[in-house]
Amino acid sequence: MKLKFLSLVAATGIFFVSCSTTYQSTSDNAAYNVTIPTNIRSHFAIAYPDATAVVWNAYDVNSVPIDWGLTGWNTLGSDAYTVSFNMGSDQYYAWYDANGNLIGTTTVVSDYTKMPYTISTLLREKYNGYTIDRIDKEIAGSKTNYEINLSQGDTKVKLLVDSNGNVLKEKTK
């Protein structure tokens, strides 16, 4: 009888464990190419608890995947940090200054149909005939902007657009 009861308890425990949500701690799966201060790691773990494939590096102005000048984000020094990570199937980048303040986060928008309607309307009305080369969603504090790279023949346009479809900055080459 005890064996049946213990088997039932064990089977129930295995069932509940297999049905629960699995979370990976960012500190357990992170690769540290530099020493990251504890406060920055803590801030990151709180902001992105479901992050996976976390890789920390020292900030390098030459390896930033966005147009830093276009974003208007604070200038960072060599004592700042970059972290790349995955959230679901999307890859993100985030930057922290030496004091542990999150400067901003970005991810590539791969499905243009999921852009805010106001931005889709802007692109259709003002940039009709241009090809979308890349869109990055950039989050800094409570603001979400989109860096949009367009081309038409030899003409290249970079836009910084807010969520309401307002062009904040425009660069043409």
* pLDDT tens string 76-103: 988 999 999 999 999 999 999 988 999 9
- What pLDDT sits at residue 32? 84
Task: Indicate whether 1 belongs to any domain.
Answer: no
Same domain, yes or no: 75 and 142: no
Task: Indicate whether 36 belongs to any domain.
Answer: yes
Same domain, yes or no: 127 and 99: no
Which of 155, 138, 156, 134 has its CA nearest to residue 146?
Answer: 138
Section 130-136 average pLDDT = 96
Residue of 10 and 61 predicted with greater confidence: 61
Determine the residue type at 150: L
> Final residue of a domain: which of 45, 77, 104?
104
Task: Indicate whether 10 belongs to any domain.
Answer: no
Range of the domain at 85: 20-104
Handedness of CA 125, 131, 137, 138 (dihedral sign): negative
Predicted TM-score (pTM) of the model is 0.79
Most confident range, picked from 13-17, 36-40, 93-97 = 93-97
Same domain, yes or no: 77 and 120: no
* pLDDT tens string 55-66: 999 999 888 999
- What pLDDT sits at residue 29? 60
Residue of 7 and 45 predicted with greater confidence: 45
Same domain, yes or no: 146 and 96: no
Task: Indicate whether 146 belongs to any domain.
Answer: yes
Same domain, yes or no: 117 and 100: no
Tally the domains of the chain.
Answer: 2
Angle 108-113-117 (CA atoms, 0-180°, nearest 5)?
Answer: 105
Q: What is the CATH number of the domain that holds 116?
A: 3.10.450.360
